Amino acid sequence: MTLNVKAQISPSVLSADFSRLGEQIRSVADSGGEVLHLDVMDGHYVPNLTFGPLLVKAMRKMTDMLLEAHLMISDPDLYIENFIEAGADIVLVHPSTCSSVEDTLKNIHSLGAKAGLVVNPFEKLSLIEPYLGLMDQLLIMSVVPGFGGQSFMPEVLTDLPDLRQALDEHDVLVEIDGGINKTTIGSVLGMGIHRFVAGSAIFNKHATPGENFRTLQSLASAGK
């Protein structure tokens, strides 16, 4: 890793108990959580609906953690400003949803947030190459986007070594999203991934979000 970033777990609130959202977010924050992953779905780009800027604004009041908005929506350009005004620090978009990926990334930056691109399983990681100089973050989906609790797809990382040098040269933070838990995380350590999204492995009935966070974070930190 050339980026001076320690391995981070980014809890996805998709699996949280929304009737106790403040408490659940505080639980991971009190355990050292620094980033929160917000899965925004529109029922169109993906067959599931979640939440919009209104809830991002509410979460902004609940925590000082970095908020990364993963926009799984058609036409993200229409809403990016709303999400940043609501308090998103990082905005992650799927290239196929943007009319001009370059313009979208520039727009996110001009509004004062960090910008990232998301690559789905069955898409080529190399599709982000033209934008390396314009992006802060690459999010690699290790499940088909839409739902939490799916199984990790290891094959999505096959081409990561080919991009490694270019990613390092451009200081792009690499993040993985989908199916990460205490069993699967071991297989993705040592690949230069900085941030690991985890939803159902953090927000579940087995332990508190904070306890689950600490378990995963210590595995991620040990494997760096």
Chain residues binding ligand DX5 by CB under 6 A are 12, 14-15, 37, 39, 70, 143, 145-146, 148-150, 177-180, 197-201
Tokens coding 222: 């040990």
Task: Specify the DSSP class assigned to residue 134.
Answer: G
CB of 167 to Zn ion, least distance (A): 19
Question: Among 30, 39, 77, 89, which one carries the catalytic annotation?
Answer: 39
By a kind-dependent CB cut-off of 5 to 8 A, residue 87 interacts, out of Zn ion, ligand DX5, none, with none
Q: Return the ∠ at Cα 175 (arms to 45 and 18), rounded to 5°.
A: 60
Residue 82 has φ and ψ, to the nearest 5°, of -60, -40
Q: Residue count at the site for Zn ion (CB under 5 A)?
A: 3
CB of 7 to ligand DX5, least distance (A): 16
**Of 39 and 42, which CB lies nearer to Zn ion in the complex structure?**
39
Exposure letters 119-155 (e unless 16+ CB within 10 A, then b): bbeebebeebeebbebbbbbbbbbbebebbeeebbee
177 is catalytic: yes
**Binding-site string for Zn ion from residue 36 to residue 65, where x marks contact by CB under 5 A and - marks none:** ---x--------------------------
CB of 133 to ligand DX5, least distance (A): 25
By a kind-dependent CB cut-off of 5 to 8 A, residue 204 interacts, out of ligand DX5, Zn ion, none, with none
Dihedral of alpha carbons 151, 154, 159, 163, sign: positive
CB 89, CB 66: distance < 8 Å: yes
CB of 102 to Zn ion, least distance (A): 23
162 is catalytic: no
CB of 29 to ligand DX5, least distance (A): 18
Give the residue, chosen from 46, 70, 91, 134, that forms a contact with Zn ion under the rule CB under 5 A.
70
Q: Is residue 177 at the binding interface for Zn ion, with CB under 5 A as the rule? A: yes
**Of 87 and 179, which CB lies nearer to ligand DX5 in the complex structure?**
179
Checking DSSP bridges between strand 8-11 and strand 137-141, what pairing results, if any? unpaired
Residue 175: strand, helix, or coil: strand
H-state helical runs in the chain: 21-30, 53-62, 80-86, 101-110, 160-169, 209-222
Kindly list the residues in this chain that would bind Zn ion in the complex (CB under 5 A): 39, 70, 177
Give catalytic residue positions. Answer: 39, 177
